[in-house]
Amino acid sequence: MRQLALLFFLVADAFSQTSQVPYAPNSDGPGPTFTSENVRLSYEGTYSSIRKVDFRNLRSPIFGDDGKPAGSISFKNGRHKSNDPSDHYLARLDSVYYLGSLSNGNSALVLYSWSDGGVSSSQGATAQVFTVSDGHLRSVQKIDWDTHFQAGQPTDSFDRSTNTLVIRSAHYIPGDAHCCVSAMDSVTFRWDGTRFVQSGIQTELSEYGKREGKTLPR
């Protein structure tokens, strides 16, 4: 499975809470299908403010497993599509939220979604926190989650009044196949002024799980 950004120098694994509902071993999701990581990535160019960044037409570098540059992903009008005819990877910029006031806010939360229709189709989403400091644009946090399931509601939401991000990620329980995920983790993150900190998690049945009469394991 390829994700929107295979690129970051990882600093620390940021999420600390996992669901009390067991995950299915030997499945596509034997554990949590969401991650939150502190990252350190600098972009070319100089910016006087985070609001001067054109996220819809931003080029993001990609790094391989060895940490060396391996290319880039370029967005045009908020879209990216692979040029390889055998690769059906698509990415889309969904939302940009500025964090803080007009006078002192120099961070932004950018939400992306992606799909990959290769041998096995997959969908996911990514939230990145960007900052501008001393004229330099940096990405400082990345949250990824799996949206390849029937949520019955949006797989993310952001409350501007409280700077709270909620994501909904696939939760495989015993018997689930890649196509049919019975549950989802609803994970809450709150902005602490520098990054999003996980503050809660709740697991419930997905639309598929409800329709099939599934119950959450204990």
- Amino acid present at 165: L
Predicted local confidence at residue 68, as pLDDT: 59
The pair of three-digit structure tokens given for residue 208, joined into one six-digit string: 């598929």
- The pTM for the full model equals 0.88
Q: Which residues pair with 194 in a beta bridge?
A: none
Work out the widest C-alpha separation in the chain, in whole angstroms: 55
Candidates 111, 98, 133, 3; CA nearest to 56 is 111
The pair of three-digit structure tokens given for residue 46, joined into one six-digit string: 């100089």
Contact 169, 28 (CB under 8 A): no
CA separation for the pair 201, 206 (Å, rounded): 15
Predicted local confidence at residue 89, as pLDDT: 87
What's the angle, vertex CA 166, arms to CA 196 and CA 78, rounded to 5? 85
SS3 category, 64? coil
CA separation for the pair 71, 147 (Å, rounded): 26
Residue 18: CB atoms within 10 A of its CB come to 15
The pair of three-digit structure tokens given for residue 92, joined into one six-digit string: 């889309």
- Residue 155, classified by CB atoms within 10 Å of its CB into exposed (0-12), middle (13-18) or buried (19+), is buried
The pair of three-digit structure tokens given for residue 1, joined into one six-digit string: 């499975």
Boundaries of every domain in the chain: 10-211
Across the chain, which has 218 residues, the per-10-residue mean pLDDT values are: 39 64 94 94 92 94 61 89 80 94 82 85 94 94 96 97 97 96 98 96 98 96
Residues whose CB is less than 8 angstroms from the CB of residue 164 and which lie 6 or more positions away in sequence, other chains included:
158, 188, 189, 190, 191
What's the angle, vertex CA 122, arms to CA 118 and CA 127, rounded to 5? 125
Predicted local confidence at residue 40, as pLDDT: 86
Predicted local confidence at residue 118, as pLDDT: 67
